[in-house]
Chain A
Amino acid sequence: GAGVSQSPSNKVTEKGKDVELRCDPISGHTALYWYRQSLGQGLEFLIYFQGNSAPDKSGLPSDRFSAERTGGSVSTLTIQRTQQEDSAVYLCASSFGSRWRFPDTIYFGEGSWLTVV
């Protein structure tokens, strides 16, 4: 597609329920990122997929959070047993995924706003 697409745009869920957030990266991009941004805060890195390599999960805050990327394209971020502190906007980004010594611009989607009540 023309840009990074995320769905849903907004999600209100009850505490304790599971939620799935979807990211469709730019066609041809091999790298995909998930970030979380709480109200008034900076971007918190969650997870990074690069091609067929094992994902970098070092930013996931707890084992309630998981993500997968099927077929090297679409990614789903799953939050189990949601808590109120999970309320935030979840941003997905993608890039061509060039090696570190070359520039690699990332492009963001508009985010999925999650509210846990």
Chain B
Amino acid sequence: DAKTTQPTSMDCAEGRAANLPCNHSTISGNEYVYWYRQIHSQGPQYIIHGLKNNETNEMASLIITEDRKSSTLILPHATLRDTAVYYCIVRGRTSGTYKYIFGTGTRLKVLA
């Protein structure tokens, strides 16, 4: 079972910041939070990951709360090409091994 919960869908105006929340209240130890996105008909694409500190790269920023029970992915200036399903994942121990279990993700629609 996925260890994260996300809203099913969100809309964002083009050029504005898209803030995608994720709840991972059962995160433990040194488990990392990862974000991927899947644009229609393509394989999922890595965006960013973090442990405790906020992270930023050329694609996005990741804000993790101090208690690590939730995080927010920020796309600072959303474009139409950012329309995709965004997955928040914690790679925890499931059925005996540490593997990626994807939830249903958030379907982000960027509006012109």
Contact = CB atoms under 8 A, between A and B. Distances in A.
B49 A56 contact: no
Contacts of B99: 33, 45, 48, 56
Chain B at the A interface: SS class = loop
B105 A109 contact: no
A43 B88 CA distance: 12
A103 B49 contact: yes
Report the interface size class on chain A. 20 to 34
Interface in A65-101: 91, 93, 99-101
A58, A93, A100 pick with most chain B CB within 10 angstroms: A100
Interface stretch (B16-24, B30-38, B58-66): B30-38
Contacts of A104: 91
A42 B8 CA distance: 11
Nearest to B96: A56
B95 A105 contact: no
Contacts of B94: 58
Contacts of A107: 46
Contacts of B96: 56, 58
Interface string A49-74: 01000001010000000000000000
A100 B46 contact: no
Contact of B46 (A33, A91, A105, A109): A105
B43 A110 contact: yes
Contact of A56 (B32, B51, B95, B105): B95
Contact of A58 (B30, B44, B45, B95): B95
A64 to B, nearest CB: 20
